[in-house]
Amino acid sequence: ARYWGGRAPSARVRSLPVNALGLAWMDRDLLDALELASPQRQREVAIWATRRACVVARLDTVDWIAEGLAAVERGDPAPPPLDDPLAAWNRLFADRRVSKTTVTSPDGTPNCSQQAMALPALFAVAGLDPLAAAVETVFCAATAYGPDHPRLLADARSLLGR
């Protein structure tokens, strides 16, 4: 319970292969709300959080990323290079049109690439498990928001009616 924000999570949350613990440290109540949401609502939150991550990091202004974001919002598979994480990372760092901004992460680590914090949301959003997708994309968006992450988390809670 001490590691999870004061109360132990369910076995389901503990078994998620994503940053559930990181999200619990930022907003334990939001983690619980995501678990209680329907799979459809979890998927909606994942798509919403992915868009928010891309917008705050200005990834939505780069054509190949914007196309990938539009595809996942439609429920389609991500197009190349976003269908291959290694290729996507390589292109992210090679493409001169990608903004290069840094933020302090929610845990206080300075000089983190905002774009590198946001990109994993595009990999997680289409995951087979809607809860894992929602938890990971909200975590990615929160880290991309840096010091402004409380605003994103409040918006996510509001989206869930909390």
H/E stretch holding 28 reads helix 20-36
Taking the model in full, what pTM does it have? Answer: 0.96
Angle at 32 between CA 26 and CA 37, to 5 degrees: 125
Q: Mind listing the pLDDT tens digit of every residue in the chain (162 residues)?
A: 888 888 889 999 999 988 999 999 999 999 999 999 999 999 999 999 999 999 999 999 999 999 999 999 999 999 999 999 999 999 999 999 999 999 999 999 999 999 999 999 999 998 889 999 999 999 999 999 999 999 999 999 999 998
| C-alpha to C-alpha distances, 95 to 34, 73, 131, 145, nearest whole angstrom | 34, 23, 32, 22
Which pLDDT score is estimated for 38? 97
- Residue 113, classed as helix, strand or coil, is strand
Which pLDDT score is estimated for 17? 87
| C-alpha to C-alpha distances, 28 to 7, 32, 85, 151, 160, nearest whole angstrom | 9, 7, 29, 15, 14
Contact 140, 124 (CB under 8 A): yes
Which pLDDT score is estimated for 3? 84
Residue 58 backbone class (left: φ over 0; alpha: ψ -120 to 50; beta: rest): left
Which pLDDT score is estimated for 85? 96
Which pLDDT score is estimated for 55? 98
Give CA 89 to chain center in angstroms. Answer: 16
* Total length of the chain: 162
Contact 51, 69 (CB under 8 A): yes
Beta strands in 2-145 (DSSP E): 102-103, 112-113
Residue 161 backbone class (left: φ over 0; alpha: ψ -120 to 50; beta: rest): left
Which pLDDT score is estimated for 106? 93
Which pLDDT score is estimated for 127? 86
CA distance 19 to 68: 23
